[in-house]
């Protein structure tokens, strides 16, 4: 993953208890600042982020460390973002990613 695209800074771990508002699938959600997109979305509705290109099976985070690519989402119009590696940011627009789109 490119450092230029990611908003995450490993040297600046979140300490604040503040919350930010993000939009997921058109629904506004309030989540703890600094959490990853994957952590913020786990447990939301039916627990899937994308579908497999091979068989359209629902997919959700598996490794949560950027190895498996099971958590791909669209963030602010950019597809193929790994939700487990991206921290939430105020106003972020997150959408599920399906292979046929």
Q: What is the pLDDT of residues 3-36, one digit of tens each?
A: 455 565 656 655 557 899 999 999 999 988 888 9
- So what's the pLDDT on residue 10? 54
pTM of the model: 0.76
* SS3 letters across the chain: CCCCCCCCCCCCCCCCCCEEEEEECCEEEEEECCCEHHHHHCCCCCCCCEECCCCCCEECCCCCCCCCCCCEEEECCEEEEECCCCECCCCCEEEEECCCC
**pLDDT of 1 strictly over 50:** no
- pLDDT tens by residue, 34-52: 889 998 888 676 677 777 7
The percent of residues above 90 in pLDDT, for the chain, comes to 34
């Amino acid at each position: 993953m490119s450092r230029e695209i990611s908003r995450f800074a490993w040297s600046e771990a979140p300490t604040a208890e503040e919350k930010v508002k993000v939009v997921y699938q058109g629904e506004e959600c309030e989540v703890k600042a600094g959490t990853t997109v994957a952590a913020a979305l786990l447990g939301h509705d039916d627990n899937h982020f994308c579908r497999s290109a091979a068989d359209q099976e629902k997919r959700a985070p598996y490794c949560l460390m950027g190895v498996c690519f099971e958590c791909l989402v669209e963030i602010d119009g950019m597809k193929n973002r790994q939700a487990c590696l991206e921290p939430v940011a105020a106003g972020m627009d997150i959408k599920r990613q399906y292979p046929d789109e």
